[in-house]
Amino acid sequence: MKSAWNLIGMGMWLLLLIYLVWMIHDMRARRLKLIVTTKKSFTWHNFSISCAELIAFLLVLWGMSYATFFQDVAKMNKSRVTTSYQYKPLIIQYQNDQSDYVRVKNGVGRNPIQHYTYYVEGRKYQVDSLSATVVYGKSNLNLQAETYKWNKEWLNHLDDRYQKAWVATVTTTYKKNWFNGIGLHAGRQANRFSLIRIPDKTFMAVEPTKADD
């Protein structure tokens, strides 16, 4: 567990489950009592109580589901997350016929994505086009990368220092507090995006796309 604050969210989900079981039992018990005492299976009073219990359950379920599954990090209050940046030079990979910084594997299907492989400090990294982008040429940013807040002066410095061969990674992490704990996010990574910079397209090797079987 990333943070003990997430116990709050776990406890609330458990209470919601207990409430659901109690609600179903209470609805059934009231209906049986109604049948025994009045010989009726429906009254507006009993129906109103059941509706109130169900509405309360659905409201809490919606709130917990939103907090746990549907929060948009981009629209979140900055006081709830921390953002860190990391910059490292790429290591060139020497091949028999070509030397490259990045290897690209194109996906197939209706919604294909690309997979990027690169090396930094002797380690191999693999990311996809949903969480990374490759930039080459004069500019060290493209439309996808510009959605993040980069220090452009520092990116230009990296171009000079590493001959336009580096990777910058921005990571957003939920802070460890009770509010994030409600959604079970405290201490967890919210988003990660890598900007892979190469001098030009010749330093990018594209693997042949294999057709679906």
Q: Which has more confidence, 134 or 121?
A: 134
Q: What is the pLDDT of residue 210?
A: 62
Q: Give 34-53 pLDDT, tens digit per residue.
A: 999 988 889 999 999 999 99
Amino acid at 33: K
Q: What is the pLDDT of residue 76?
A: 80
Q: Which has more confidence, 1 or 64?
A: 64
Quick check: 90 pLDDT over 90?
yes
For residues 184-209, average pLDDT = 92
Mean predicted lDDT score pLDDT of the chain? 92
Contact predicate 104/205, CB 8 Å: yes
Quick check: 75 pLDDT over 60?
yes
CA distance 175 to 29: 44
Q: What is the pLDDT of residue 72?
A: 84
Quick check: 110 pLDDT over 50?
yes
Q: What is the pLDDT of residue 99?
A: 83
Please, which residues have CB within 8 angstroms of residue 17's CB and are 6 or more apart in sequence? none
Q: What is the pLDDT of residue 54?
A: 97
Q: What is the pLDDT of residue 1?
A: 63
Q: 128-144: buried (b, 16+ CB within 10 Å) or exposed (e) per residue?
A: ebeebbbbbeeebeeee
For residues 190-199, average pLDDT = 96
Q: Give 147-169 pLDDT, tens digit per residue.
A: 999 999 999 999 999 999 999 99
